[in-house]
Amino acid sequence: MEKFLIKGSSSKGVNGLINCSGAKNAVLPLMASSILFDDTVTLTNVPLGANDIQTMIILLKSLGSKVQIIKKKKILKITNKKKHKLLVKYKYISTMRAGVLAMGALLGKYNKCSTALSGGCSLGPRPIGYHLAGFKKLKCKYNLNKGYINIISPSGIKGGHFRFPRVSVTGTSNLILASVLANGITTLKNISIEPEVLDLIKFLRNGGARIYNTGKRTIKIYGVKKLNGHQHEVIGDRIEAFSYLCAAAITKGKIKIKRIDPKHLTTELKVLKKIGCNIKVEKSSIELNRKNNLKTTNLKTAPFPGFATDCMPMLMAVLTKAAGKSKIEETIFTNRYMAAPELVRMGAKINIKKSIAFIIGQSNLNGADCISSDLRSTFAIILGAMAANGESCISRVYHGLRGYSNLYNNLKKIGVNIKKKS
């Protein structure tokens, strides 16, 4: 099992340029949506180095899709020449929650499917109940048997009305996928408006789907007979961009991120400015240069356009170097503070009380043996190791490799003293 060895330095900040990968959280729903198309779907700017993408490729192939990979150009071509299998097996989605999106796509096209309950990061309860309640409004029936959800619409998917009790990114995508080919009109309220969801809507619209914004967090979907295959460029990964910006913030360095839309990080960039980082924004790039000492802040995570929960672990790591007390309240996931105990092992002063992290900053961090438990905590621990004195050994970095394409090489590129260890 691969480990990272990182030698930190308090005197040398990272420096360099990162070309942002395509967004993992955008391309996975796009790949799942390809099930709805009879023609070839072409996706460009795909982060092929992220393990979750490879898992989704295997999943689609297991269902009967033909997937062509053009590695050098970061392109996927997905073609459906025959009817798909309607069983999504556990082994294909045990490590990837996005696999549940195959349920919405299969249901939308074939009116039935069986899907294993999915895995992914250990972030506490991530209930699929919202998805199922929404499917029920589309005239579906379901049962749970031996870890599989069996769902069917005996008379075919029909338009319905559903309001999400809480904003759900995956739930929104799943209900959209189930509705685009439905008979009638579907209204979805209190939907997610994350950039990745809007990218999915744009992709489906360009293929012929009739999806309209009708109010705040509300869309109407008029069912169509078929979707037409086309080419689509995946948006830049805002979480990856923020992660590398934090690398410069915590080490007093300078970094430029290209191929990213700054509007997707408006709230997060305001926070980085507030804590003392100099930010320069252009149309498709962000540059961070930290010259001064970091300042404290208090914030809550929230659905977009609020501060992203996926960005919170990295900011928590950065705030260990800010003089004074900071407070972060996590409102999305119950187990989002998995990096905190590992940062404490390095000497950070972080106290977790229920959903709130209290951080007393400007700690002297020292290298330590650490274990990663989820995708974003991996990068947060890496940040701590970069700012620490001495060497840190980070185990189970495969969690980070699920979502960060070319992670090791990018870290080396910006000057991190890093080695791999088996």
**CATH for 298:** 3.65.10.10
Chain mean position to CA 370 = 23
Residue 378 burial class via C-beta count within 10 angstroms: exposed 0-12, middle 13-18, buried 19 and up: buried
Show which of 209, 233, 257 is a domain's final residue. 233
My answer on whether omega of the bond before 313 falls inside 30° of 0, hence cis, is no
Q: Which of 218, 146, 145, 147 is nearest to 176 (CA)?
A: 218
What's the rounded Cα separation, in Å, for the pair 136 and 130? Answer: 10
If DSSP codes are grouped into helix, strand and coil, which group holds residue 227? coil
> Do both 300 and 258 map to the same domain?
yes
> Do both 192 and 292 map to the same domain?
no
Neighbour tally for 327: CB within 10 Å = 14
Active site residue 121: yes
What was the pLDDT predicted at 10?
A: 58
144 φ/ψ sector (left φ>0, alpha ψ -120 to 50, else beta)? beta
Q: Which of 180, 275, 291 is nearest to 225 (CA)?
A: 180
> Do both 280 and 187 map to the same domain?
no
Token pair, residue 153, equals 């619409």
Enumerate residue ranges in the chain where pLDDT < 70. Answer: 10-11, 118-127
What was the pLDDT predicted at 119?
A: 53
> Do both 71 and 208 map to the same domain?
yes
How many domains does one find in the chain?
2
Q: Which of 113, 121, 277, 311 is catalytic?
A: 121
Show which of 233, 250, 273 is a domain's final residue. 233
What was the pLDDT predicted at 210?
A: 98
What's the rounded Cα separation, in Å, for the pair 257 and 249? Answer: 13
* 16 and 160 Cβ atoms separated by less than 8 Å: no
Token pair, residue 416, equals 């991190």
> Do both 113 and 14 map to the same domain?
no
What's the one-letter identity of residue 158? K
Containing structural domain, residue 282 = 3-20+236-421
Global confidence as pTM = 0.95
> Do both 183 and 98 map to the same domain?
yes
Show which of 187, 214, 233 is a domain's final residue. 233
Token pair, residue 149, equals 């959800």
DSSP letter at 373 equals -
> Do both 283 and 396 map to the same domain?
yes
Chain mean position to CA 86 = 26
156 φ/ψ sector (left φ>0, alpha ψ -120 to 50, else beta)? left
Residue 201 burial class via C-beta count within 10 angstroms: exposed 0-12, middle 13-18, buried 19 and up: buried
Q: Which of 23, 335, 46 is nearest to 194 (CA)?
A: 23
> Do both 96 and 156 map to the same domain?
yes
> Do both 270 and 413 map to the same domain?
yes
> Do both 71 and 196 map to the same domain?
yes
- Each residue's pLDDT tens digit, 370-386: 999 999 999 999 999 99
> Do both 393 and 291 map to the same domain?
yes
What's the rounded Cα separation, in Å, for the pair 67 and 213? Answer: 32
What's the rounded Cα separation, in Å, for the pair 104 and 53? Answer: 18
> Do both 290 and 391 map to the same domain?
yes
CA dihedral 166, 168, 174, 176 (to 10 degrees): 70
